[in-house]
C-alpha cells in the first residue's frame, strides 16, 4: 500500500525491483561484469594476451603478497599519500576559509589563484625533483598540490554561502572581529561543505599517486609501470584494484569520522 501526492492510499503490486534490494542488484551487476569480462577474454585469444582474465587475478595478487612486493608498494604509497593529503588539505582549507571570511584576502588571492589553478600537479614534477629529489616527499608535494585546490574552493564556497545575517548577529554579540567571525560563525557553519571537499580530495589524491610516482618514487604507481613494461597485465589489474580497495577503506573511515563531527546537525 502506497500514498499518492494527494495523500490517498492505494494498493500497488510489488515489482521485481521491489523484491530485489538495490544492494543485491549492485552485487549482481558486479558478477555480470566479471562474468562478461572472463568470457570475452577466453573467447578472444588475441585479447587474452593483452587483457588478463579475472580468474588470473587472485593468483597474481597472492604471488605479489608472498614476494613482499605488494606490502612494500602499499606502505610506500601510503606514506606520501597521507603526507600529501594532510598538507594539501590543511593549507587548502585554511586559505579558503580565510579568503571567505576576509574580503581583502579574497581580493588579494584572486589573481594568484587564476594564475596557478590551471597548472596541473604533474607539471610541478621537475621542481619536485629539484627541491626534494626522488623521494617520498617529492611525491607528497605533487599530491598536496592536487588536493590543495579542491579543499581551497570547497572551503571558500562553503564560507561564502553562509547567510550574511549570521555575521551581523555575531557582530551584535561582540564577535565582529576576524577571529570572532572565524571561530563563532564561519567554521561551524561551513564544516559540512569543508568535509565534502575533503572527501573529494581523498579520492583525487589516489588518482594523483600514479602520476606522483611516474618519475621513480617506489609505490603502487611505480609497481604498475614496472608490470606494464613487462606486459604483466594481471599485476597491473592487481594494483588498480589495490588502489580501489584503499580508497574504499579511506572513504569508509572518513564517513564514520564525519558522522561524529557533524552529529549535531543530524
Say what the pTM is: 0.77
Element (H, E) at 223: helix 220-229
* Residue range(s) defining the domain that contains residue 259: 60-265
Question: Lowest-confidence range among 43-52, 67-76, 103-112, 193-202?
Answer: 43-52
**pLDDT at site 21:** 66
Q: Could you give the number of structural domains in the chain?
A: 1
Judged by DSSP in three states, 13 sits in: coil
pLDDT in the model for residue 152: 94
Is 54 part of a structural domain of the chain? no
Alpha carbon distances (Å) from 249 to 18, 208, 231, 243, 245:
30, 17, 29, 10, 6
> How many residues does the structure list for the chain?
266
The predicted-structure confidence for 4-29, as pLDDT tens digits, reads as follows 445 544 445 555 555 556 667 777 77
Q: Is the pLDDT of residue 150 over 60?
A: yes
Label residue 174 by pLDDT band (50, 70, 90). Answer: low
90 inside domain: yes
Q: Tell me the C-alpha distance between 219 and 204, whole Å.
A: 17
Instruction: Kindly give, in sequence order, each residue whose CB lies less than 8 Å from that of residue 92, ignoring residues fewer than 6 positions away.
Output: 147, 148, 149, 150, 151, 152, 154, 155, 197, 201
Q: Is the pLDDT of residue 235 over 80?
A: yes
Q: How confident is the model at residue 46 (pLDDT cuts 50, 70, 90)?
A: low
* Domain membership flag for residue 215: yes
Residue 60 has pLDDT above 60, yes or no: yes
Is 34 a member of any domain? no
Write out pLDDT tens, residues 65-111: 998 899 999 999 999 999 999 999 999 999 998 888 777 888 888 88
CATH of the domain at 149: 1.10.3720.10
Q: What is the pLDDT of residue 224?
A: 87
Say which residue, 266 or 263, is predicted with more confidence. Answer: 263
The larger pLDDT score, comparing residue 5 to residue 154, is at 154
Q: Does 32 have pLDDT greater than 90?
A: no
25 in any annotated domain: no
Residue 16 lies in a domain: no
Confidence (pLDDT) at 226: 87
- pLDDT at site 100: 83
Per the domain annotation, does 80 fall within a domain? yes
Q: Are 91 and 147 in contact (CB under 8 A)?
A: no
Q: Rounded mean pLDDT of 174-187?
A: 66
10, β-bridge pairs:
2
Residue 214 has pLDDT above 90, yes or no: no
Residue 201 lies inside a defined structural domain of this protein: yes
Amino acid at each position: 500500500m502506497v500514498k499518492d501526492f494527494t495523500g490517498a492510499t492505494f494498493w500497488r503490486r510489488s515489482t521485481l525491483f521491489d523484491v530485489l534490494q538495490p544492494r543485491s542488484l549492485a552485487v549482481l551487476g558486479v558478477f555480470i561484469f566479471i562474468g562478461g569480462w572472463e568470457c570475452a577474454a577466453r573467447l578472444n585469444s588475441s585479447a587474452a594476451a593483452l587483457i588478463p582474465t579475472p580468474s588470473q587475478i587472485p593468483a597474481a595478487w597472492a604471488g605479489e603478497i608472498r614476494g613482499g612486493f605488494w606490502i612494500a608498494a602499499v606502505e610506500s604509497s601510503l606514506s606520501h599519500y597521507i603526507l600529501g593529503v594532510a598538507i594539501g588539505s590543511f593549507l587548502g582549507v585554511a586559505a579558503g576559509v580565510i579568503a571567505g571570511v576576509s574580503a581583502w584576502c579574497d581580493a588579494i588571492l584572486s589573481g594568484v589563484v587564476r594564475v596557478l589553478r590551471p597548472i596541473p600537479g604533474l607539471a610541478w614534477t621537475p621542481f619536485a625533483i629539484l627541491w626534494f629529489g626522488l623521494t617520498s616527499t617529492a611525491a607528497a608535494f605533487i599530491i598536496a598540490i592536487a588536493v590543495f585546490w579542491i579543499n581551497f574552493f570547497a572551503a571558500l564556497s562553503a564560507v561564502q554561502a553562509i547567510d550574511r545575517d549570521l555575521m551581523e548577529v555575531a557582530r551584535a554579540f561582540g564577535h565582529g572581529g576576524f577571529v570572532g567571525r572565524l571561530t563563532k560563525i564561519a567554521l561551524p557553519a561551513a564544516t559540512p561543505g569543508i568535509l565534502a571537499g575533503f572527501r573529494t580530495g581523498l579520492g583525487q589524491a589516489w588518482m594523483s599517486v600514479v602520476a606522483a610516482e611516474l618519475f621513480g618514487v617506489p609505490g603502487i604507481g611505480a609497481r604498475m609501470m614496472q608490470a606494464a613494461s613487462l606486459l604483466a597485465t594481471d599485476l597491473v589489474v592487481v594494483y588498480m584494484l589495490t588502489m580501489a580497495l584503499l580508497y574504499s577503506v579511506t572513504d569508509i573511515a572518513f564517513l564514520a569520522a564525519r558522522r561524529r563531527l557533524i552529529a549535531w546537525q543530524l
